[in-house]
Amino acid sequence: MNVVKRNLPFLFMVIALIIFYSILLAAYNNDLINGFVFIGVMLVAFAIILIPLIVYRNDRKRVRKLSWIVLILGGILCFETPLLWYESNTYTASCHAEPIEAFDNSGIHLMLVTTFEIGYLEDKDLIMEGLQQDNLDIIDLHKVTNKIRYHSKNSEILRWLKIQKDDFTIMRDNVTSYLVAKTDSIDDVLNRNDISGDSVGLGLALSGLIGEGKLENDLTFGVTGALSASGDVKAIGMIKEKVLIAAEHAYPYMIIPSENAEEANEVKKMHDLKVEIFDVNHIDQAMDLIKKLNEEHAK
């Protein structure tokens, strides 16, 4: 009991630190403060905690406990400070990119979107005007929120520590695991280093099946969707851009993840697009759909 009583001040300090950090983090992720305020307040707290550490430097017990608090807050600071590198990003611009066929004449067109960061500017209309003057084929601007910055920072740290792979590498592993056999027909795309994200997974797997002779297709499809190793089709980002690009290229059909179906159909209705959109949860559904449409077309 005495041990617990002696440690109560230390426990209260740890709890107070956790609450303090949680409040700051919640304020940041809800865009109530920016990264400079977030890191700045923690730096002030770090400096304040150093004061009693200096004052009681000759008291070993107090110094040991205070040192733990300093180490915890210092570790948090080291983890969060890279947020400042993302603070200048205000918008992400998405623009037209040419769809590609991983396997020639497969009819499966992978929907790509080119993106780049806009820094420091907050006026969306001014940004669009400047980009249009540069003759860039901009589809949309996406506001960069603190949640996006925080996710980007964490992902970068995990990749740097080799704890997490990037989305394209995960997609490549999933596609090769699903196909099992050789992927010579799609290796050129699998080995490219100028494509990011995982949205070409479904299209690559379908292209690989066509390349292996396991699927036949004489029609034109725009295809987008992340793929798991077991063949499940997962949601992807920038579905609006990909639907618009498919319509611009006059693709009659587009296959997308079911999780993106609502947004995709809203885009189709809003822009009065002619492309016919099909959504799937698994690659088997996509294969059945391709076979069915080919059979109907052949009649």
Q: 3-state SS string over 266-280?
A: HHHHHHCCCCEEEEE
15, burial (CB in 10 Å: exposed 0-12, middle 13-18, buried 19+): exposed
Where are the chain's structural domains?
Answer: 2-85, 96-119+165-298
75-87 pLDDT, tens digit per residue, is 999 999 999 999 9
203-220 pLDDT, tens digit per residue, is 999 999 999 889 999 999
How many Å apart are CA 36 and CA 83, to the nearest integer? Answer: 9
The whole-number average pLDDT for the span 169-185 is 88
The whole-number average pLDDT for the span 158-181 is 90
Residue 103: per-residue pLDDT: 85
Q: Who has greater pLDDT, 299 or 73?
A: 73
How many Å apart are CA 51 and CA 54, to the nearest integer? Answer: 5
How many Å apart are CA 185 and CA 246, to the nearest integer? Answer: 23
Give the predicted TM-score (pTM) of the model: 0.85
How many Å apart are CA 114 and CA 99, to the nearest integer? Answer: 11
Residue with tokens 């205000």: 90
46-58 pLDDT, tens digit per residue, is 999 888 888 777 7
| Percent of the chain topping pLDDT 70 | 96
**pLDDT class for 184, splitting at 50, 70, 90?**
confident
Select the CATH number that applies to the domain covering 96-119+165-298 from these four: 1.10.238, 3.30.230, 3.30.70, 1.10.8. Answer: 3.30.230
To the nearest whole number, what is the mean pLDDT of the chain? 90
Least confident of 11-20, 149-158, 232-241: 11-20
How many Å apart are CA 173 and CA 167, to the nearest integer? Answer: 10
Q: Who has greater pLDDT, 40 or 61?
A: 40
Residue 91: per-residue pLDDT: 94
Task: Say if CB 222 and CB 247 are below 8 A apart.
Answer: no
How many Å apart are CA 279 and CA 281, to the nearest integer? Answer: 7
By DSSP bridging, strand 89-96 and strand 113-119 are antiparallel
Enumerate the H helices of the chain as residue ranges. Answer: 2-29, 35-55, 60-80, 124-133, 146-160, 167-179, 187-190, 201-211, 239-248, 261-271, 283-298
The whole-number average pLDDT for the span 112-128 is 89
Residue 8: per-residue pLDDT: 62
